[in-house]
Structure 1
Amino acid sequence: MPIHPTAVIHSSAELDPSAEVGPYVIIDGPAKIAAGARIEAHAQIVGRVEIGEGCVIGRAAVIGADPQDIHFKTETDSSVILGPRNVIREHVTIHRGSKPGSATRLGEGNFLMVGAHLAHDVQLGNKNILANACLLAGHIQVGNNTFIGGGAVFHQFIRIGDSCVIQGNGSFGKDIPHFCAAMRTNRITSLNIIGLRRQGFTSEQRAAIKDLFKLLFCSGKNISQALAIAREREWSEPASRLLDFVSAPSKRGICPWRGEVDLED
């Protein structure tokens, strides 16, 4: 087992023989480190943390620390769960769940760049990219294949959909639906057309998504009116997911559209 002699590892931790642990790493608690995982120098794994196969935990990252919640009780039995092949770069912080039995959870194949932060109870899907210094507050849900630019910040309890692209330094306190481009403060500007093409959406699927987007956000109708009209039509599976997302917003509501009506493909 390639463990550096300066690493400090709790007796209750379970490490696969192929896991690598670098200099001055601290694993403090009943962590589970799967095959092929690599924990780089000065990283800290705190408490009940599961790190999936092939994950990389960067230098000085802290995974599993207590939530930044003034009401949190340190004896709470909660966790962080990372699926396989997540890359967590330097100085990233991921806090554990805030309630007994809860978990902050990542799917597979996510890439969190330097200094990103996931607060307690965040649910991150698969193959998302969070650039440097993104800050996600508690209980945020993120879908799959979404890119978030550096320094963007997000209010607790909101939802971010699949295949979105979000401008760096933006600030968001409302839901960002599937497939949308968002920027500045709570502003949807268009669809993520380039991202949809790169992710293999067909021209027919993109056309249906575009038609629904125009109806929901660019028709001059309020959301309730637009949803009523949209439900009378048949939609492709991706467009139906967008319809379902907008139909069931969080308490924070949906970001409004402020962009151009014409959406180039």
Structure 2
Amino acid sequence: MPIHPSALISDEAQIDPTADIGPYVIIEGPVRIAANCRIAAHAQIIGDTHLSENTLIGRAAIIGENPQDIGFDPNTPSGVRIGKNNTIREHVTIHRGSKPDSHTTLGDGNFLMATSHLGHDVILGDKNIIANAVLLAGHVQVGNGTFIGGGAVFHQFLRIGDGCVIQGNGSFSKDIPHFCAAQRINRVTGLNVIGLRRAGFSPDDRKSLKALFDLIYRQGHNLTQALTAARQQTWPEHAEKFLQFLEAHSKKGICRLSQDSSDEE
């Protein structure tokens, strides 16, 4: 087992023999580390944290620390669950769940760049790119295949859909629907058309999404009126997914359309 002699490893930890544990790493409590994981120098993995195969934890990252919640009881049993093939770079922080038996959760194939933060109870899907210094507050949900630019910040309990592209330094306290481009403060600019093309969406798929986006955002309806109008017709799979996101219960509401928006942004 390639464990550097300066690493501090709890007797409770379960570490696959193929994992690589670097110098001055701290593994504290019942941590589980699966095959071919690499923990770089000075990282700390704490408590009920599980890392699945082929995951990299960068230098000085801290995974599994208590939530930043002044009412949190440190005796609460909770943890972090991280899927396969994730890259979590230096100084990233991921906090454990805030309620009994809850978990902050990452899917597979995500890339978290340096100094990004996932607060307690965040749910991150698969193949997302989270750029430097992005801050996700507690209970934020992110879908799959979304890119978040550096320095963007997100209030607690909001939802971010699949296939979104979000401008760096944006500030968000409202939900961002599937396949949207978002920027500034709680604004969408249109569909993530370039991302849709790269993801293999057909011209018909993109056409139906554009028609639904226009109905929701550009025809002068409020959201209730727009959803009622949208349900007067049948939509193909991806547009239906977009519509169901809008129909689902939201604690925060939906980002509004920027006045200088374009579907090609």
TM-score range, shorter chain: over 0.9
Q: Note if contact 2:189-2:261 (Cα within 8 Å) is conserved in structure 1.
A: no
Rate the CA distance shift 1:167–1:264 in 2: closer, same or farther, 3 A: closer
Q: Is the Cα contact below 8 Å between 2:92 and 2:115 reproduced in 1?
A: yes
Q: Which residue of 1 aligns with 2:16?
A: 16
The match for 1:54 is 54
> How far apart are residue 248 of structure 1 and its match?
1.6
Assess, with a 3 A threshold, how the Cα gap between structure 1 residues 22 and 30 changes in structure 2: closer, same or farther. Answer: same
Residues 192, 263 of structure 2: 8 Å contact kept: no
Aligned-residue CA RMSD (Å): 1.1
Corresponding residue for residue 66 of structure 2: 66
Question: Which residue of structure 1 aligns with residue 226 of structure 2?
Answer: 226
Equivalent residue, structure 1, for 2:159: 159
- 1:224-255 CA distances to partner (integer Å, 9 max, x unpaired)? 11111111111111100100001124111001
Q: Provide the rounded CA distance (Å) in 2 between the counterparts of 1:250 and 1:223.
A: 12
How far 1:259 sits from its partner (Å)?
A: 4.1
Relative to structure 1, is the Cα distance of residues 18 and 257 closer, same or farther in structure 2, using a 3 angstrom cutoff?
A: same
The residue number in structure 1 matching 2:98 is: 98
Q: Which residue does 1:138 correspond to in 2?
A: 138
Residues 261 and 172 (structure 1 numbering): CA distance in 2 closer, same or farther, change over 3 Å?
A: closer
Distance 1:174 1:249, change over 3 A: farther
Separation in 2, partners of 1:72, 1:79: 13
Change in Cα spacing, 1:54 to 1:262, as seen in structure 2 (3 Å) is: closer
- Give, in whole Å, the separation in 1 of the partners of 2:263 and 2:138: 33
Q: Which residue of 1 aligns with 2:263?
A: 263
User: Structure 2 matches for 1:1-265, cutoff 5 A?
Assistant: 1-259=1-259, 263-264=263-264
Gaps of 5+ in 2: none
Residues 261, 128 of structure 1: alpha-carbon distance in 2 compared, 3 angstrom cutoff: closer
Structure 1 residue 157 displacement after superposition: 0.2
2-structure distance, mates of 1:212, 1:119: 33
2:242 & 2:259 partners in 1: Cα distance? 18
- 2:206 aligned partner, one-letter code: R
Alpha-carbon distance between aligned partners in 2 of 1:27 and 1:262, rounded to the nearest angstrom: 48
Q: Is 1:22–1:41's contact at 8 Å kept on the other side of the alignment? A: yes
Q: Which amino acid aligns with 1:243?
A: L
Residue 120 and residue 39 in structure 1: after superposition, are their counterparts in 2 closer, same or farther (change >3 A)? same
SS in 2 for 1:68: coil
* Whole-Å separation in 1 of the counterparts to 2:88 and 2:103: 17
Q: TM-score scaled to structure 1, two decimals?
A: 0.98
Distance in 2, matches of 1:147 and 1:53, equals: 23
Deviation at 1:263, TM superposition (A): 2.9
Q: Quote how far apart the aligned CAs of 1:262 are.
A: 5.8
Question: How big is the shift at 1:264?
Answer: 4.4
Q: Could you tell me how far apart the structure 2 residues matched to 1:137 and 1:27 are?
A: 25
**Cα distance in 2 for residues equivalent to 1:44 and 1:14:** 15
Structure 2 CA distance, aligned partners of 1:233 and 1:250?
23
| TM-score of the superposed pair, with normalisation by structure 2 | 0.98
Number of equivalent positions: 265
- Relative distance call for 1:133 and 1:261 in structure 2 (3 A) is closer
Counterpart contact for 1:67–1:98, Cα < 8 Å: yes
